[in-house]
Amino acid sequence: MKVLITGIDGYSGWPLALHLLGRGHDVVGVDNFVTRRRVKEVGSWSGTPILPFPKRQQAVHDLLRKELGFHKGDLADYEFVRGVLATERPDAIVHLAEQRSAPYSMIDVHHAVATQVDNLTGTLHLLYAMREVVPDAHLVKMGTMGEYGTPGVDIPEGFFEVEYRGRRDTLPFPRQAGSWYHWSKVFDSGDVMFATRIWKLRTTDVMQGVIYGTRTPEITHDKLLTRFDFDETWGTALNRFIVQAVLGLPLTVYGQGGQTRGFIALEDSMQSLRLAVEHPAEPGQYRVFNQFDAAYSVNQLAEATVRIAAEYRLHPTIDHPPDPRVEAEQHYYQPIHEHLPALGYRAQRTLDDGIRQIFRDVIRFRRRLEARRHVVLPTVNWRVADSKPAIAARLPSFPGPSAPPPTAASPPSSVDPTV
């Protein structure tokens, strides 16, 4: 099949390209490199060194003997989107090109608006261009388990049958997101569901759990590494914990740490997306997959990190600063995930495997973390309308030896001139 990946330069876009190429699919990508710029905006960079995109393509050619197509451009430009679809005529489109950070969306009004407007516009442009150019293509849209929030009942895959005042109907499961970013994904889900209905498109909406890991089997060389974000704005809690352990800092568990979410290994997320691509939805079918393996609380992640850190002779403590987010710190959480197993999905990786993988890589690139150690503490507060991103100059009281604030003029030493 020919697969178009939007956001191919990102954390999951890149390993997905490698995985699909390895499975014999044709792959072409789109990116505007905004994540590289936005991570820089908050004073951080990828913990793993990642090559500029043309060098990534070259590495694919040299190491995997495959050709990777690419169009640089922005999904905000409808003519660009339509042009790419008309040129490439993909069988499937995996849409990953969205602002993906909840804390980034909560920085201030402008980041909130940019997140929602950019995500919604890109998705609408893709839907219209599909309708116009490739109406039989299959859209695999990256959403998030965070669309559902933490309701007091089980979470079905998109739809549930309810009885209300003596009548029954199958309805979309209500969404109760917890950040402007998560709401932007809810909005996308509405638009994708509606476009599917009126234009008989084929669509799969992936309610993605939190992904962890630095490796897939296709990442056989450092030139093929994907990005690894560890700062408070772009990194996940688990990434932050492991980096804190490596840097000798306490792990910062927000509040009581009972916040529970669904998780999946990078390799297994790629397996899931590939299964979705290889088993397309029917025309007019809007499918929802809850894509995760197991649910863990933040405390469980921190405890697993501490346990596995000891294998690397690291012995971090755990701190409990107040939760900057507005979320339940203890709650019921029971999402259903049956659609992907029905397509043959079997988990290949455990959480412990994933944590070991990350430790090995971040210890190797420890100097890159040292150079950005000021970015691993929370600074964006859900309750404050104008929060500040984690920029060193604004954090004079940060404990421990302080790195010089990074600027374009004085890049810290690094193993690679990349972001």
Kindly list the catalytic residues: 144, 181, 185
Residue 113 neighbours by CB under 8 Å, 6+ apart: none
What's the angle, vertex CA 33, arms to CA 351 and CA 118, rounded to 5? 90
User: How many positions of this chain bind a copy of itself (CB under 8 A)?
Assistant: 53
Pairwise CA distance, residues 17 & 378, whole Å: 32
Is there binding between residue 33 and a copy of itself (CB under 8 A)? no
Among 190, 341, 400, 405, which residue sits at the site for a copy of itself (rule: CB under 8 A)? Answer: 190
Pairwise CA distance, residues 188 & 176, whole Å: 14
Is there binding between residue 83 and a copy of itself (CB under 8 A)? no
Is there binding between residue 169 and a copy of itself (CB under 8 A)? yes
- Smallest separation (angstroms) from a copy of itself to the CB of 108: 8
Among 18, 186, 237, 276, which residue sits at the site for a copy of itself (rule: CB under 8 A)? Answer: 186
C-beta neighbour count of 395 within 10 angstroms: 16
Segment contacting a copy of itself (CB under 8 A): 35-43, 61-69, 91-99, 166-174? 166-174
129 vs 264 by CB, closer to a copy of itself? 129
In the region spanning residues 199 to 218, those forming contacts with a copy of itself, defined by CB under 8 A, are 199
Among 63, 66, 176, 299, which residue sits at the site for a copy of itself (rule: CB under 8 A)? Answer: 176
Among 61, 315, 360, 383, which residue sits at the site for a copy of itself (rule: CB under 8 A)? Answer: 383
In the region spanning residues 94 to 153, those forming contacts with a copy of itself, defined by CB under 8 A, are 108-110, 112-113, 116-117, 120-121, 124-125, 128-129, 131-132, 151-153
Q: Which two tokens stand for residue 122?
A: 């890109």
15 vs 143 by CB, closer to a copy of itself? 143
3-class DSSP state of 80: helix
Instruction: Find out whether 214 and 361 touch, Cβ atoms under 8 Å.
Output: yes
CA distances to 5, 72, 138, 215 from 25, in Å = 12, 21, 15, 20
CA distances to 28, 111, 308 from 364, in Å = 31, 33, 16
In the region spanning residues 322 to 351, those forming contacts with a copy of itself, defined by CB under 8 A, are 326, 332
Among 73, 187, 312, 416, which residue sits at the site for a copy of itself (rule: CB under 8 A)? Answer: 187
Residue 299 neighbours by CB under 8 Å, 6+ apart: 253, 256, 257, 258
Q: Which two tokens stand for residue 201?
A: 């498109």
Task: Calculate the dihedral angle through the C-alpha atoms of 272, 276, 278, 282, rounding to the nearest 10 degrees.
Answer: 160
Q: What residue ranges bind a copy of itself (CB under 8 A)?
A: 78, 108-110, 112-113, 116-117, 120-121, 124-125, 128-129, 131-132, 151-154, 156, 160, 162-165, 167-169, 171-178, 180, 183, 186-187, 190-191, 194, 197-199, 326, 332, 382-383, 385-386
